[in-house]
Amino acid sequence: MATDTEDLAPYERWTRGAIQNPRRVYTGLFYVATIFFLITTLFPFYWLLVIALTPTGMLGQIGITPPAIDPGSFVEIFERLPFHVYMFNSFVLALLTTAIVLLLGSLAGYVFGRLTFPGRTPLMLIVLAISYFPPAAFLLPLFELFTGNVEVLGVQSPVLFNTPGAMVMPFSALFMPLAIFILATFYSQIPDGLEDAARVEGTTRLGALFRVIIPLSAPGVATAGVLTFIVVYNEFFFSFLMNDGQAENWAPLVWGILNYQGQYSQFYNLMAAASIVGVLPIAILVVVAQEKIVSGLTAGALKE
Amino acid sequence: MSPGLLETASAPAKATANWVEGLSETAFAYLLLAPMLLLFGVIAFWPLASTFEMSLRADSLAGAENIGPFVGLENYVDLATGQRDAVMPRPFLDLDQPFRSALTVTIIFAVVSVAIETIIGFGQALVLDQEFKGRRWLRVAIILPWAIPIVIQGMIFYLLFVPGIGIATEPLQQLGIFGSTPLSNPVDSLIIIVIADVWKTAAFMALIILAGLQSIDRSLYNVGRVAGATALQRFRYITLPLVMPAVLIAMLFRTIDAMRVFGLIETVSDCTVVPSLSCMVVQTFGARRYGTSAAIAFITAAIIAVFVMVYIVQFARSEEGLL
């Protein structure tokens, strides 16, 4: 029963099969690419876990697996520094910003999505431009403003440095454009008839917005909210510069992690454990809300 | 601001509600935009104008005032001619050492990382465009890096490359690519930062390109098949031209973003090792050289503004198409 193919070496057999049936090559390529992408995206997370589980004394012997397993780092990170306070601060800052962005962004999204008025396009372009400006271009004046060094009509600006205000305000301005474009897209899809019907029944204009348009656009509001939360939680620039890095002064996650790098520079396992704990809320959010994230990102970027 | 509040409220509130009802559509639009415009005014427009004004003033290192007297464009001229380099941690523009001067290192970073991200993102998008079991989970895996905080992204690559612990350092040293201390070598650190950036943001490229891929009319492929085009030809003559607009938009977004890199450098390496433009702004600001700092900040904004303009012209065109 010896056939041609069986006499050939495996490599040649494979080549011949490939020429006869290119579809198999594409399937093979697809699996290779999938495995490559899985490894490259997930290996760095695995590496964090390896380091986090390694006991402090054995950090020099780390290989592709931990030399010994000791989950103690996950407890220690809350004892050496108040890591839970940094996390709490990040949550409060992200939630406050999300609330402000959704409220102001809903008003603006309604205007851009449903109303026609002179100046609409130029205003949209300005909103768009703001989200792309480098935060560094705003740093000096905002720092002066938030440290009480700016006078307006003889009134000193309040000292907001080391308070949530110094971070929430820049976050809100920088991330509102994304939310506005997502919300405008959703609000514009509500049929006019529904809004008109509510207005005929005596609802005010604002009432129609809050009672008809926003509830009917709940998926859009959720999308904008999830994305805003993620980008604020992830922000670095103002989180780093608008406080002194102390947990009691509203320093967020950025500082919780950097302080481990700075003050416990040999405790790589603590840095890794803190990073894992810091990334957990976002990882959960991504698994739960991946459809929203994908649709929001693509709607924001590919608005036509 | 619940609706019930508006309707059951007292007489002045009712009067306000009536006043709002009587406004023209334009006036109503601007009334609703007012809070947003106020916030943008304080957090964006005023700071930008103020940064420009500061950039026209001298540094003031002594005395109570942070800002010196008006000097016109002196800061810009000094930065461009290299006369300011002596007082900065790293030069602003020095073509003889491109990896050590702020403007060149930022441009190198942006061009290299966006180019690699486009290729990897395209690959990821092609894989995600297929129908297969577990697609949802592959998508989670690919998005995950995009969603993590910059400081944790930086920490991961710090731990991958810090000598003694990092698993990736030794092989690269044996290959002769890295020196003995990669995190304080400008070229080695730049390579690490590019890898970290690609790891995190290729997913963004992938999602935008995927959206472009999925908007392609599938019947075109059948036409191609009937006409005898091979899979490669179908990709070359159908997929590529149709997905190009999405790729370009994604590249533009990423370039704008890459030009403002700061936190990743601060976490993985150090701003004096890889001196990006934002790094220089923060460092000169930390040294109380407000005039210099403001000038670099405004130059950064101006460079980014050029890219933003390209996008905005594009956007305005599509908006007009809608109206």
Q: What is the pLDDT of residues A25-80, one digit of tens each?
A: 888 888 899 999 999 999 999 999 999 999 988 888 888 889 889 999 999 999 99
Complex-level ipTM: 0.89
Taking one residue from A and the other from B, the number of pairs with CB-CB distance under 8 angstroms is 298
- B46 belongs to a structural domain: no
- B33 belongs to a structural domain: no
- Note the pLDDT of residue A276: 97
Q: pTM for the full model?
A: 0.90
Test A51 with B231 for CB contact under 8 angstroms: no
The answer to whether the beta carbons of residues B36 and A237 sit under 8 Å apart is no
Q: Collect the ranges in chain B with pLDDT lower than 50.
A: 1-6, 322-323
Domains located in chain A, CATH noted: 4-61 (no CATH), 82-301 (1.10.3720.10)
- Note the pLDDT of residue B19: 85
> CA of A214: how far to CAs of A106, A110, A295, B105, in Å?
8, 9, 18, 46
> CA of B293: how far to CAs of A12, A29, A96, B60, B79, in Å?
64, 50, 31, 12, 10
A257-291 residue pLDDT tens = 999 999 998 899 999 999 999 999 999 999 999 88
Nearest CA in chain A to B243: A302
Q: How far away is chain B from the Cα of A64, in angstroms, using its nearest Cα?
A: 8
Test B290 with A140 for CB contact under 8 angstroms: yes
- Note the pLDDT of residue A144: 92
Test A176 with B150 for CB contact under 8 angstroms: no
Confidence of residue A302 (pLDDT cuts 50, 70, 90): low
User: B66 vs A303, which has greater pLDDT?
Assistant: B66
Interface probe, candidates A138, A180, A213, chain B, greatest B C-beta count within 10 A:
A138
Q: Is the pLDDT of residue A241 over 90?
A: yes
- Note the pLDDT of residue B319: 61
A88-141 residue pLDDT tens = 999 999 999 999 999 999 999 999 999 999 999 899 888 888 888 899 999 999
- B117 belongs to a structural domain: yes
Mean model confidence pLDDT for chain A: 89
User: Which stretches does DSSP call E strand in chain A?
Assistant: 151-152, 155-156
User: What's the token pair of residue B141?
Assistant: 């895996």
Write down the H helix ranges in chain B.
3-8, 11-22, 25-40, 46-55, 74-81, 102-128, 135-147, 150-161, 169-174, 186-214, 219-226, 231-234, 240-258, 263-268, 277-286, 290-322
Of B159, B230, B321, which has the smallest distance from its Cβ to A268's Cβ? Answer: B159
Test A240 with B266 for CB contact under 8 angstroms: yes
Test B149 with A134 for CB contact under 8 angstroms: no
Confidence of residue A303 (pLDDT cuts 50, 70, 90): low
Percentage of residues in chain A having pLDDT higher than 70: 96
Vertex B18 angle, CA B12 and B20, to 5°:
105
CATH number for position B216: 1.10.3720.10
- B39 belongs to a structural domain: no
Residue A8: CB partners within 8 Å, gap ≥ 6?
Answer: A16
Residue B173: CB partners within 8 Å, gap ≥ 6?
Answer: B179, B180, B182
Nearest CA in chain B to A171: B43
Percentage of residues in chain A having pLDDT higher than 90: 63
CA distance B124 to B142: 8
- Note the pLDDT of residue A2: 45
Task: Concatenate the DSSP letters of all residues of B38-100 into one string.
Answer: HHHIIIIIHHHHHHHHHHTEEE--SSS-SEEEE-TTHHHHHHHHTTTGGGSSS-S--TTSTTT
B35-47 residue pLDDT tens = 999 999 999 999 9
The answer to whether the beta carbons of residues B35 and A104 sit under 8 Å apart is yes
Residue A70: CB partners within 8 Å, gap ≥ 6?
Answer: A53, A54, A55
Q: How far away is chain B from the Cα of A115, in angstroms, using its nearest Cα?
A: 7
- Note the pLDDT of residue B13: 77
Test B136 with A290 for CB contact under 8 angstroms: yes
- B230 belongs to a structural domain: yes
Of B204, B231, B308, which has the smallest distance from its Cβ to A297's Cβ? Answer: B204
Name chain A contacts of B136, Cβ cutoff 8 Å: 290
* Closest of A237, A235, A296 to residue B149, by C-alpha: A235
Q: Per the structure, how many domains does chain B have? A: 1
Confidence of residue A6 (pLDDT cuts 50, 70, 90): low
- Note the pLDDT of residue A57: 85
Tell me the helices (H) and strands (E) count for chain A, helix number first.
16, 2
- B58 belongs to a structural domain: no
- B27 belongs to a structural domain: no
Interface probe, candidates B28, B116, B159, chain A, greatest A C-beta count within 10 A:
B159
Q: How far away is chain A from the Cα of B224, in angstroms, using its nearest Cα?
A: 16
- B61 belongs to a structural domain: no
The phi and psi torsions of A151 (rounded to 5 degrees) equal: -110, 130
Of A133, A169, A287, which has the smallest distance from its Cβ to B301's Cβ? Answer: A133
Domain span holding position B289? 74-322
